[in-house]
Structures are given as structure tokens and as C-alpha cells.
Structure 1
Amino acid sequence: MFLAWNEIKKNKLRFTLIIGVLMLVSYLVFFLSGLATGLQNLNRESVDKWQAEAIILTEESDKSMNQSSLTIEDSEAIDAKELAVIGQINAVAGNGDRKTKVSLFGIREDEFIMPKVTEGKVFTEENEVIASDVLKDEGFKIGDELQLSSSEQILKIVGFTDKARFNAAPVLYGDLSTFHRVKFGEAAEVNSTSINAIVVRDDNIEAITTDDFLELMEVETFIKNLPGYTEQSLTLNFMIYFLFVISAVIVAIFLYVLTVQKISMFGVMKAQGISNGYLSRSVIAQTFLLAAVGVIVGFVLTLITGALLPSAVPVAFNLITMSIYGLVLIVVAIMGAVFSILTIVRIDPLKAIGG
């Protein structure tokens, strides 16, 4: 450590450049991890809000709630600790000044998927809805009347709730009768028992039996089958993994070049009796210091950037995930130093000093 630290102090500019590169790589890794988490939240916030273990859809729905078609009577035949029925439809909602894509959830007020209102009140009358606070950020407010693209019904916002997005769209929560009027129009009474899914809260979902035309799946499985969810996650995660490899290669190249430039010095040190082990430990210690400083600076810059970004940017930083990625970056940087260590081990003192 003594040798490593003294060399860093002597060649400040050279090692600052290495720290700078590692800082940029770690900054990009941390930001991509935040973007991956943010995009995942865009799809799953409202589902996580249920705090449920499973969901029941029709077998033919291909794990899509929008494609599933059930009735309230189907839920009555299911024996589970807690059940909640839900209807869902996608639409474009506008208040005259602005429009946005939304997902309307038809629910029962007395069931566990009823959201907690953070502003305003719960729906009590026809066509009243609780809206995701994302709409508030977009300029919608309590009292706004919403015209839906797929319906002649006018919905009124009476409250807001937090963390309520489904498949990247802010959610509107209304009662089942509101959902039926929006979806079926004049045929609402005929379809008054229609729903899209049954949400299950039960620790022992393996013991739950359903009819053959129904499919019970874990909530996590349902989320992974949301359109674009898995593809987005895989794309960003592969980018992060490639950055790990790039980080190792960059460190390897820098340290190898530095080692080659110091072959004669290492030769003199080996001729004086300094062991390969000591020199190798010095390189590893030096790499650890450089990587640690670069990762810490990148970590701090990422948090500062996240605090300055507008709410419209889907970034959410998970400190545990970022810490794990930071440790991985340090480890791969040390692995990149292996080539320099091998070079040091192979140095012949006599040849290095011109003997």
C-alpha cells in the first residue's frame, strides 16, 4: 500500500485520468441501473400497491389482464384468504387543455386493492375517480372532468393517490359500475358482472384451486409478462454487464501501459530482493484505490443528477443495487490488473536493467 500510494502522489495527473475514466463508467452504470428501476416502476407500481401474491386470469388471455374476461360469479367459487375483483381498460383521457394515456381500474371500495387517497376524497358517486398523482404533475387537478377517447362517459377526479401507474400509464380508480359504463356504454347493465381479473392475497396459493378455463399465477410472473417489461429490463441490464467488461478492459490497458513503462524500475526492485508478491500486492492496492475513488465519485454524482432531474424522467435509484454494482466495478477493475501482475512476475531483473 505504501508503494502504491506514493506512486499515485508522484504521478497525480496520470492517475487522475484513470480515476476520471472509472468515474465516468461507474456514473453510467449507476444511472442505467436507476433508469432500469424507474422503467420497471412505470410498469408495476399499481400492481405492487396491491401487496398481493397472485392473480387469476382466463387461460386464453396469454397472461394479459386486458385480454382476460371473467365474471364476479367466478370469484365466488374460489377459496382464498382474501380476494379482490378488478376490471381494466386503456384509454386516452383529456380535460380540454391536455390529454394523456390512462388505465382505468374498476374496483370495489371495500376490497384490499382500494388505494389510499393522498389528496381529496374517495369516489362515492357515479363516474367519480381517484387518479394517480402523476396526472397532478401533468397539470390535472381535483374537480377536472375527463373525456375518454373510448367512451361518451365523463369522469370526474375527486382524489389523488401515489405510486399508481400500470404498464407506464397513470391509473384512474373508479367503482365497477363506472368501469362498466366506460367499457360497454349502453350495454353496461347487461355486462354488470364483467371483470378482467381476480387478485389474490394468500400465503398458500399452491392450495388454491380454480376452474380449468382460469389460470392462477404469481404476481411477479404477471408483471414479467406485461408488454415491454422484460425486454426493457434485459436491454438495460445487458448494457450494464457490458460496462463491467469495458471497465475491466480499460483498467487492464491503463495499468499494463504503466507497467511496461516501469519495467526497468521493477527490475531494479526485484534485483534488490523485493518479491513478486509484494509488487503484485502493490498493483492490486493501487487498482483498488483508483477504482474505489472513481466509483465513490460516480456514486455521488449520480445521486446529485437524480436530485436535479425533473419528475418526468423515469429514474429511481435503489441504493442496495447501486452498492452491489459499485462493488462489482471495483472487483472487475482489480481483475483487470491481472495482466500487469503477470507482466511483473515475468520480468527478468538482469534484462530489465540492461545486464
Structure 2
Amino acid sequence: MFLAWNEMKSAKLRFLLIIGVLTLMSYLVFLLSGLANGLAELNREAVDQWGADAIVLSDESNINLPQSSMTIQAAQNISAKDKAQIAQILLVARKSGTKIKESVAITGIQKDQFLMPKISEGRAFTTNNEVVADDSLKADGLKIGDQLNISSSNQKLIIVGFTKNAKFNAASVLYTTQSTVQKIKYGKANASGKGLINGVVLRDPNFAHLKVNSKLKLTPIETFIENMPGYTPQKISLDFMIYFLFVIVSVTIGIFLYVLTIQKVSIFGVMKAQGISSGFLIRSVMAQTFLLALFGVVVGFVLTTITGLFLPAAVPIQLNLPALLVYGLIFILVATLGSLFSVQTIVKIDPVQAIGG
């Protein structure tokens, strides 16, 4: 470590350039990680707020909530520890008298069941056509008392409250009564008076033992999230980009250190002639790489944190500290392993040839 540190101090510019490259790579890894988490949260925020263990949907829905349909009677026959009915339709809402449009997931629930969100501003809905909206809509100019026109329907909704973290499949959620969803979906409440819903959300750790109608399907909540349109392909794509970056880091640092080792062959030859072993020189190179990667990761982390503070709200970035720490450690490990490219060169150095003998 002493040799590695002193060499870095004596050739500051050279090693600052290497640290700069590692900083940019770690910065990119951390930013991609934040974007991956942010995009994932856009899809699952509302579902995570439910605190559910499973969901029951129709068997032919392909584990897609808006495409599912069942009767309330079928929902009532499900004997779970705690359950909540849910109706949902994905549409576009426009603020009356303006051109402000938003993709929304109009979600019908019952106020006395656990799907009822916590109100961050305003009040809960009390009658049909009143909604509690995701508070991200405030950034687009919507406020309490605004009236919303709904596409493909003559129904008008009024915002009476806001709740936090209510995104479903990247759409802002509007919580309202089930009757409101039925009116938007069918033009009026179902003729039977009981209506139709899309699914039943369960809070029951032992849900796997529940029996449901053959036309219904019981699905763990994580499986339900993974089957949201675009969720899994998007997450896998971003994860693979991060993994490939680690490979690129390993190759890049290996090339840098190999070139530096070639330039220092004569110096290493002199050191070997003085009795310094190849093992000592290899440990020195690896220690030097560790220090370079550590500095790069620390600076990259600081830059990522600063960037996260100044990015506009429209950019879905979420910096997860435990994940960043894991990526940082992997980054340092991969970079250190990349230094092994130089090991064979160091071992093969002949002191006599290296010093021109």
C-alpha cells in the first residue's frame, strides 16, 4: 500500500485521469440504478401502498387488473383473513376548461376496506364522482376542487383530496367509489345493482391455502407486479446495462494498468534485482487499483447524489442507498480484479533484461 500510494502522489495527473474515468463509470452505474428504481416505482407505487400479499383476478385476465372481471358475489365468497374489492379502468382525464391531460387509473374501492389511502391533503371522497388523486398531479397544475372530464365518458370527476405515492403502471391513481367506476365503464351502474369489479386484494400470509372459483386465479402480489405491462422487460433491460458496465469497467481498468505496467517494466526490474518479490509487486498493483476505484466510487456517489437533488420531478429517479452501496462494492471488486491482467507481465519480468543487462 505504501508503494502504491507514493507512486500515485508522484504521478498525480496520470492517476487523476484514471480516477476520472472510474468516476464517470461509477456515476453512470449509480444513475442507471436510480433510474431503474424510479421507473420500477412508477409502476408499483400504489400496489406497494396496499400492503397486500395476493390478488384474485379472473382466470382469463392474463394477470392484468384492468382486463379482469368478476361479480361482487364471487368476491364475497373468497374467505381470506382480510380482503378488499377493487374496480379499475385506465383512461385519460382532462382538467375542465384547459388542455391539461393526464393518463389516470380510476380505481374504485370501499372506504371501510384497507385499500383506502392515507389523505395527505383535503379529504376522502364521500359520494360518487369525488376522487382522491395522486399528489404528483399537483405538479401539473391540478388542485382540490378541479373538475376532470374523462375520455369516452360523460362523467365528470371532482378532486376532493390528494394522497402520496399512488402510481399504477406509470399512471396516476384516482381513488373513488366502485359505483363511479361502473358508471364510467358501463354508462350506468350494472342493472343487477350489484355491479362488477376487477379483483379482490388479499392481506393473508396463508393465502396459498385459499380455494377460489375455477374461473378465478389467485396470484402472489409480486407475481402480479412482475406481469404489469412493460414492468419486467424494462427492469431486465436496465439491469443488464448495469451488469455490462461492470464488465466494461473490468476490461478498461485492466487495459489501463497493463499499459502502466509495460511502462514500468524497467522500474519493476530494478526492484526485483533488489530482492523485491513478484508477489509484493502484484499486491502493490492491486492495492493501487483498489485506491483508484475507491476514489472513483466515492466521487461518483457524491455526483449522483447532487444530480438527484437537482433533476426535475418529471425524471423518475430514486436513489436506494443499500443498492448503491452494493453496486459500489461490486464496482471496486471488479476494478481490482481487472488489475490481474498485469499479473503475468510482472511475473515474467527478468531483472537483467529489464535494466538493459
TM-score tier after normalising by the smaller chain length:
over 0.9
Aligned pairs (5 A) from 1:115-130: 115-130=117-132
User: Are the aligned partners of 1:107 and 1:114 in contact in 2 as well (CA < 8 Å)?
Assistant: yes
Structure 1: where are the runs of 5+ without partners? none
- Counterpart Cα distance in 2 of 1:234 and 1:226: 14
- Counterpart Cα distance in 2 of 1:342 and 1:13: 26
- Counterpart Cα distance in 1 of 2:14 and 2:189: 75
1:27 aligns with 2:27: yes
Note the C-alpha offset of 1:179: 1.1
Find the residue that maps to 1:186 and give its secondary structure.
coil
> 4+ residue stretches of structure 1 with deviation over 3 A?
186-192
Among candidates 150, 153, 172, match of residue 151 of structure 1: 153
Size of the aligned set, in residue pairs, is: 355
- Counterpart Cα distance in 2 of 1:295 and 1:342: 27
Specify the alignment match of 1:161 in structure 2. Answer: 163
Specify the alignment match of 2:136 in structure 1. Answer: 134
Aligned pairs (5 A) from 1:216-295: 216-295=218-297
Deviations 1:92-132 (A, max 9, x none): 10113211110000000000011000000000012000000
Note the C-alpha offset of 1:229: 0.3
User: Are the aligned partners of 1:180 and 1:192 in contact in 2 as well (CA < 8 Å)?
Assistant: no
Among candidates 102, 105, 116, match of residue 103 of structure 1: 105
- Counterpart Cα distance in 2 of 1:255 and 1:156: 64
Structure 2: where are the runs of 5+ without partners? none
Specify the alignment match of 2:179 in structure 1. Answer: 177
- Counterpart Cα distance in 1 of 2:158 and 2:208: 41
Specify the alignment match of 1:11 in structure 2. Answer: 11
Note the C-alpha offset of 1:190: 4.0
- Counterpart Cα distance in 2 of 1:47 and 1:314: 17
What letter is aligned with 2:147? Answer: E
- Counterpart Cα distance in 2 of 1:203 and 1:110: 21
Alpha-carbon RMSD across the aligned residues, in angstroms, is: 0.9
Note the C-alpha offset of 1:191: 6.3
- Counterpart Cα distance in 2 of 1:192 and 1:172: 22
Note the C-alpha offset of 1:26: 0.3
Structure 1 stretch 109-118 or stretch 187-196: which is displaced more? 187-196
- Counterpart Cα distance in 1 of 2:327 and 2:186: 49
Find the residue that maps to 1:337 and give its secondary structure.
helix
- Counterpart Cα distance in 2 of 1:91 and 1:56: 23
Specify the alignment match of 1:42 in structure 2. Answer: 42
Deviations 1:195-228 (A, max 9, x none): 0010000011121111111110110000000000
- Counterpart Cα distance in 2 of 1:191 and 1:125: 17
- Counterpart Cα distance in 1 of 2:252 and 2:173: 45
- Counterpart Cα distance in 1 of 2:190 and 2:136: 29
What letter is aligned with 1:16? Answer: L
Note the C-alpha offset of 1:150: 2.1
- Counterpart Cα distance in 1 of 2:57 and 2:259: 60
Structure 1 stretch 193-202 or stretch 182-191: which is displaced more? 182-191
Find the residue that maps to 1:151 and give its secondary structure.
coil
User: Are the aligned partners of 1:177 and 1:192 in contact in 2 as well (CA < 8 Å)?
Assistant: no
Find the residue that maps to 2:212 and give its secondary structure.
coil
Among candidates 326, 335, 345, match of residue 347 of structure 2: 345
Percent identity reads: 58
User: Are the aligned partners of 2:20 and 2:296 in contact in 1 as well (CA < 8 Å)?
Assistant: yes
Note the C-alpha offset of 1:186: 3.2
Note the C-alpha offset of 1:187: 5.1
Specify the alignment match of 1:212 in structure 2. Answer: 214
Structure 1 stretch 86-95 or stretch 69-78: which is displaced more? 69-78
Structure-1-length-normalised TM-score: 0.98
Note the C-alpha offset of 1:353: 1.2
- Counterpart Cα distance in 2 of 1:71 and 1:47: 22
What letter is aligned with 1:21? Answer: V
- Counterpart Cα distance in 2 of 1:304 and 1:322: 14
Specify the alignment match of 1:311 in structure 2. Answer: 313
Note the C-alpha offset of 1:287: 0.3
User: Are the aligned partners of 1:106 and 1:173 in contact in 2 as well (CA < 8 Å)?
Assistant: yes
Aligned pairs (5 A) from 1:316-335: 316-335=318-337
Specify the alignment match of 2:59 in structure 1. Answer: 59
